[in-house]
Structure 1
Amino acid sequence: MWFKSLKLICIFFTVGFINCGDVQPERLTVGEIKCSHCSMNIVDMRFHTQLITYKGKRYHFDAIECLDQFQNDKNFKAQKIWVTNYLDTNEFITKEKAIIIHSDKIRSPMGAGLAAFKTHEDSIPFQK
C-alpha cells in the first residue's frame, strides 16, 4: 500500500518540476497566428513580439507598437516580454535587454518604425 502512495507522490512531483521550468518564447510559422491587438496575420518575423502573463496566458503581436498599445489598453503587468532581433528572426531578446529604436529606415507592420536589436552597434546603420 505504501509503495502505491510513494509512486503517486513521485509522479506528482515529477510533473510539478517539469512544469516549473523557465518560460521561453514560442516559435511561429509565418501567417500561423494573428496579432492579439490588431488581428493582422504575423508575417514579418523581424517584428514578432510575445508577452506572457503571470497566469501563463501568451499573447503574440506583429509589431512592438501593437504590444505597447495592448499593454496600455489592458493595463496589466507581464511576466515576460520578448522581442525578435531585427537582424536575426530566430533570436528572441527580453524587452528589458533589447535596444529598441525608432527609425524612418525601418518599415514595421503598423508603420511606427520600431525595431529591436541585440546591441547598440547593430542598430547604428538604422539610425539617422
Structure 2
Amino acid sequence: MIRPTHFFIFFLLLVSCNSTPVAIEYGTTSCHACKMTIVDQQHAAQLMTKKGRTYSFDAIECMASSLNQWKEEELATILVTDYLNPKQLIDAQNAYYLISNSIPSPMGANLSAFAKKTNRDELSNSPGDQALSWNEVKSLAK
C-alpha cells in the first residue's frame, strides 16, 4: 500500500532531479562563469546536472571554459542558443559552431552556434571564419 507521504517523497525526488532547461531571464540572470548579466539572446548557453541544478551562461565560451568544474558523468544536458533562432536552445553536441569576426559574441571569442550546418555555412563568408565541432569548442576552452 502506498501512503500519501511516500508519494510526496517520490514526487519531490522526481522534481528535484529534473534536467529540463530553465527560462533565462535576459537582463536579470547572471552568467555562472563571469557573473555578467545575460542580455545577448543569440549567444546564451545553459547546462543542467543530473542532480537537477541549472547553470546559465552569457556566451558559449563561458560555458565551455567552465565545463572542467564538473565530471562528464555529472552532466545531464548541455544547451546552446541557435544563433538564428534566439528563443531555441539546442543540444550542444549536435550544434554547428562558427567563429566569425562578423558575428561578435559577449566575451569576444566571436563564437556562435547553429542548429543546421547549412545555416552556419551560409553565414561563414569571411576568409578568417572557422567552422568547429563541439569537441573543437571544448578543446579551445582548455
TM-score range, shorter chain: 0.7 to 0.9
Structure 1 segments of 4+ aligned residues over 4 angstroms from their partners: none
Q: Distance in 2 between matches of 1:16 and 1:37?
A: 29
Residue 115 (structure 1) aligned to one of 95, 112, 116: 112
| Unmatched runs of 5 consecutive residues or more in structure 1 | none
- Who is 2:64 aligned against? 68
Residue 126 (structure 1) aligned to one of 123, 127, 137: 123
- Normalization by structure 1: what TM-score? 0.82
Q: 11-20 or 30-39, which moves further after superposition?
A: 11-20
Alignment of 1:21-60 (within 5 A): 23-60=19-56
- Normalization by structure 2: what TM-score? 0.75
AA matched with 2:95: A
Residue 100 (structure 1) aligned to one of 70, 89, 97: 97
How far residue 39 of structure 1 moved from its aligned partner, in angstroms, is: 0.7
Tell whether the 8 Å contact from 2:46 to 2:79 is kept in structure 1 after alignment. yes
Tell whether the 8 Å contact from 2:17 to 2:51 is kept in structure 1 after alignment. no
Tell whether the 8 Å contact from 1:106 to 1:126 is kept in structure 2 after alignment. no
SS in 2 for 1:100: strand
Q: Distance in 2 between matches of 1:109 and 1:118?
A: 20
Residue 82 (structure 2) aligned to one of 75, 81, 85: 85
| Unmatched runs of 5 consecutive residues or more in structure 2 | 127-142
SS in 1 for 2:11: helix
Percent identical among aligned pairs is: 32
SS in 1 for 2:62: helix
